[in-house]
Amino acid sequence: MSATSKQSAMTADDIRARKGNQPIVSLTAYTTPMARLMDRHCDFVLVGDSLGMVLHGLPSTLGVTMEMMILHGQAVSRGLDHAMLVIDMPFGSYEEGPQQAFRNAARLMAETGAAAVKLEGGVEMAETIRFLVARGIPVMAHVGLTPQSVNALGGYKVQGRDEQGALVLADAQAVADAGAFSVVLEKIPQRLADQITGEVSIPTIGIGASAGCDGQILVVDDMLGFFTAFKAKFVKRYADLGESAEAAIAEYAAEVRAREFPAAEHVFGDQTPK
């Protein structure tokens, strides 16, 4: 099944042009209703492979498949008119080399209508990014803490402290030189994030980085309080909807058990119009 690509109000060039200007606003989304809620507030919406943990209960993002990304990408696409749709390339779909990356990126874009893909990695992914961009696929890069490399990194640790900061800076410069239109900086020290933002030519999108980045992104279920398995330091809870939802479910369960629901106004009598 193919998704017809639609021209969103925002494009990769628009995002790139925001370097040093008005901050870029972005969130993740995995469903049509959530995409509709954020469409007029966000510049781009990311279908993140975090959906594996947030929606499917996986222990990490490593078990996310192309089919899962396509399914949720199609759902989010239906809810967007203004915001640009970006979709994550899942683990194992691009690391083998540029040709594999192109095949899978082209499939993701063709079947979801996404305007760009995001992939993790710095210096080692520069050749792949250059290959994709040369063939018409806009790429958002992702350096610092790269969740798909959690096993190699030894956990979800802050990256780029002390002498390791030079490596993260080199990664950011490499993806910018390769043609990425923006780069996500995840879980790195504030001073390093500010340095990278000042030195690279493309917008930086922070998540656990710095308010000085050119934009910010959060997992929407984190900031709304739906995902409560753990809370990262860099997450601000703008609502506790998870608690509200559980309270509502508990009230419903109590009323059902007490035979208080459905009440008279919720049922149909013989003479009640449909």
Task: Report the binding-site residues.
Answer: 49-50, 88, 118, 120
Residue 185: burial class (beta carbons within 10 Å; 0-12, 13-18, 19+): buried
Given a contact cutoff of 8 angstroms between Cβ atoms, the answer to whether 128 and 94 are in contact is yes
What is the Cα–Cα distance from 268 to 257, expressed in whole angstroms?
21
Q: How many CB atoms lie within 10 A of CB 251?
A: 12
> Is 186 among the catalytic positions?
yes
Catalytic residue selected from 96, 124, 186, 260: 186
Q: Structure tokens of 152?
A: 């190699």
Residue pair 15/44 in contact by the 8 Å Cβ criterion: yes
Q: Of 72, 65, 22, whose CA–CA distance to 47 is shortest?
A: 72
Scored b (16 or more CB within 10 A) or e, 45-74 reads bbbbbbbbbbeeebebbbebebebbbebbb
Annotated binding-site residues for 3-methyl-2-oxobutanoate read 49-50, 88, 118
Q: Which residues are catalytic?
A: 186
